Chain A
Amino acid sequence: MFREFAMAKQASTSTAFTLEFEKPILQMERQIGDLVTLQETKGTDYSAEINALRQSLTAMLRKTYQGLTAWETVQVARHPARPQTRDYIDMIVKDFDEVHGDRKFGDDKTMVTGMGRISGHKCMIIGHHKGRDTKEKIACNFGCAHPEGYRKALLKMQFAEKFGLPVVTFIDTPGAYPGIGSEERGVAEAIAVNLREMSRLRVPIVCIVIGEGGSGGALGIGVGDRLAMMQYAWYSVISPEGCSGILWKGGENTADAAEALKLTSKYLKSMGIIDEIIEEPLGAAHRNPRAAADGVEKYIDKTLRELKRVPVEKLVDQRYERIRKLGTDAVTSA
């Protein structure tokens, strides 16, 4: 509850962080706010003006968000007020019982794991958490997990398998942490093992990219029976900045790189790489986290209902078939 309050507070003070293309929208929001205050203090009726402004605000939001470029989408996915894993847990998970640690090295705060109920389904919830305030962000390494995070996730998934709990993962990471300790403790091995083990885990797995789907760090908890993306999330093999730095030899072409990487939910759906797009409220999830969470909950409920009906042998076979055909349309036998 507190978190929801903190989020609302952050959203209302979003002047502290303004996306370039949202400036006219925020200006209009401020105008409406001013009029409302004026109406309350002076007692004059401005409702006609307010309604007219609200209508044009809706139109403006719709227009702006319909025409987002790939790079703008990335920026929305990174918006500081965008709901994160712990926010979704607060909003849609009942009786969340957090479980910590990988029992090998430590407890990676970037990787949140625990049991809970979503729409009545008992499940294991796993997700990257980026952190809201500075302190939490640092503790969470801004969403970049270490090897112990991936091993923690796997340990909890295997627990879920033993007791027949479906797994739900929330993906939101710029990538796995690139550092000395991360390499020393084998981040590549940790991700690789997760990919192999998730492909044969004997319970349903539903994966949702809620914000950033940064490369192997995202995929490390992203192999499952279904993969969905929030409408304004992104998912790619490399960040636009990284790609631009390598292929354009400079950081100035991030927008071109974002476009070239085809990282939007719409494109990935058309490619058949993801199964579904979870629609976000008008003006994206950071404007209305509650509505975004409702969409996520509905998707999880629907999908788990479907998957729980499938006998486990068939489930694992179907999962393999789903993974097996990835990219087969990008090859040809001449």
Chain B
Amino acid sequence: MAQLQNLSANSWENVTPARKNVDVPEGLWLKCPECAGLIYRKTMEEQQHTCPDCRYHFRVSAKQRIEMLVDPGSFEEMDADIAPVDVLKFADKKAYSKRLTDEQKKTGSKDGLRAGRAFVKGRPVVLAVMDFTFMAGSMGAVVGEKITRAVERAVKENLPLVMVCCSGGARMQESTISLMQMAKTSAALARLDEAGGLFICLLADPTYGGTTASFAMLGDVIFAEPKALIGFAGPRVIASTIRAELPAGFQTAEFLQEKGFIDRIVARQDLRSEIARTIDYCGK
């Protein structure tokens, strides 16, 4: 036991502490949250939204992710018209319906996920990408429905399913409805599994809560971006429950790989070829 503890203590030294400021600031120049270097925005964007010096991976919207991931012009969106309905009439300090219209205006999307067919290095795939810019990528009925349809499409057309997760978890404003999307997406994935379909999942920063506890952890192959934070309960909730500080590097992709829950950490630059290679190995 003591040996085990030592081992994990050693491994935590290899990972850097969680970052605080992760929103990408506006402007021509920006500071890298990791190495504190000054970066020219255009260079950062040209290098797949990573820091040219330290390869820090900036968060990206679903649109940017799709552009980086698929063969140019090959994305054919489906179910773009599906929009949320506030059946619970949820209101906290702000009404959910108002929050939705604000987010829709801000992002130009109906909800927090884009799905469609595309090619990755010439291989046809069904793609579903969560959008962290829309209500922190939270999963409500629309996200659940679109994922389920994407899975069903992958089964029907015998295509590999590629999913990019980045989400704060299930959407509180849809309460039990959003909770049930965990069951729905997982049940659909059982069918894909039975049909012998391939499901490649990429976990990007951050992936939490109901998203992690359903489809995100059900990939045949699970990739994660370097240093992405991935977990079930948020670090603040855990810290306040156990009343202790969390170890450095807790819930990072590196931590998860160490604990055996993801297959590989893949840098953004290598993602396209890693996906293509996996598809080829699986004969899909």
Contacts and interface: CB of A to CB of B under 8 A. Distances in A.
A326 interface: yes
Q: Specify which of B79, B144, B190 lies most central, judged by the most chain A CB atoms within 10 Å of its CB.
A: B190
A230 B177 CA distance: 19
Interface in B104-156: 110, 140-142, 144-145, 148
Contact of A178 (B79, B237, B260): B237
Nearest to B214: A192
Interface in A129-147: none
A112 interface: no
A328 B145 contact: yes
A179 B241 contact: yes
Nearest to B211: A188
A246 B242 contact: no
A124 B170 CA distance: 30
Q: Specify which of B91, B141, B189 lies most central, judged by the most chain A CB atoms within 10 Å of its CB.
A: B141
A226 B86 CA distance: 25
Interface in B222-270: 231-233, 237-238, 241-242, 246-247, 250-251, 259-261
B83 interface: yes
Interface stretch (B19-27, B36-44, B47-55, B180-188): B180-188
A324 interface: yes
A324 B212 contact: no
B33 interface: no
Interface string A178-194: 11101111111101110
A182 B219 CA distance: 20
B233 to A, nearest CB: 3
Contacts of A261: 90, 172, 175-176
Q: Specify which of A186, A220, A248, A334 lies most central, judged by the most chain B CB atoms within 10 Å of its CB.
A: A186
B93 A247 contact: yes
Contacts of B88: 260, 262
Contacts of B157: none
Contacts of B58: none
B30 interface: no
B172 A324 contact: no
A89 interface: no
Interface string B57-92: 000000000000000000000010111111110111
B216 A192 contact: yes
A111 to B, nearest CB: 16
Contacts of A179: 233, 238, 241-242
Interface string B192-217: 01100000000000000110111111
A185 B174 CA distance: 29
Q: Specify which of B93, B191, B214 lies most central, judged by the most chain A CB atoms within 10 Å of its CB.
A: B214
B179 A215 contact: yes
Contacts of B186: 192, 195-196, 199, 223
Contacts of B145: 327-328, 331
B82 A331 contact: yes
Contact of A330 (B81, B140, B260): B140
Interface residues of A, number: 58
Given A237-B210, A328-B141, A333-B81, A180 B242 contact: yes
Contacts of A182: 232-233
B218 interface: yes
A150 to B, nearest CB: 10
A199 B189 CA distance: 10
Contacts of B261: 186, 189
B176 A263 contact: yes
A324 B148 contact: yes
A200 B194 CA distance: 10
Interface in A147-162: none
Interface string A201-238: 00000000000000110011011000000000001111
Given A243-B172, A327-B141, A331-B85, A237 B217 contact: no
A222 B182 CA distance: 11
Given A183-B231, A185-B259, A216-B210, A236 B176 contact: yes
A236 B175 contact: yes
Contact of A237 (B179, B193, B246, B260): B179
B87 A216 contact: no
A241 B237 CA distance: 12
B250 A248 contact: no
Interface of A: 176-180, 182-189, 191-193, 195-197, 199-200, 215-216, 219-220, 222-223, 235-238, 242-243, 246-248, 256-257, 260-263, 268, 271, 273, 319-320, 323-324, 326-334
8 closest A-B pairs by CB: A178-B233, A199-B187, A330-B141, A195-B186, A327-B141, A188-B212, A247-B92, A188-B232
7 contacts: A188-B216, A195-B182, A199-B187, A324-B187, A327-B177, A327-B181, A330-B86
Interface of B: 79, 81-88, 90-93, 110, 140-142, 144-145, 148, 170-172, 174-184, 186-191, 193-194, 209-210, 212-218, 231-233, 237-238, 241-242, 246-247, 250-251, 259-261
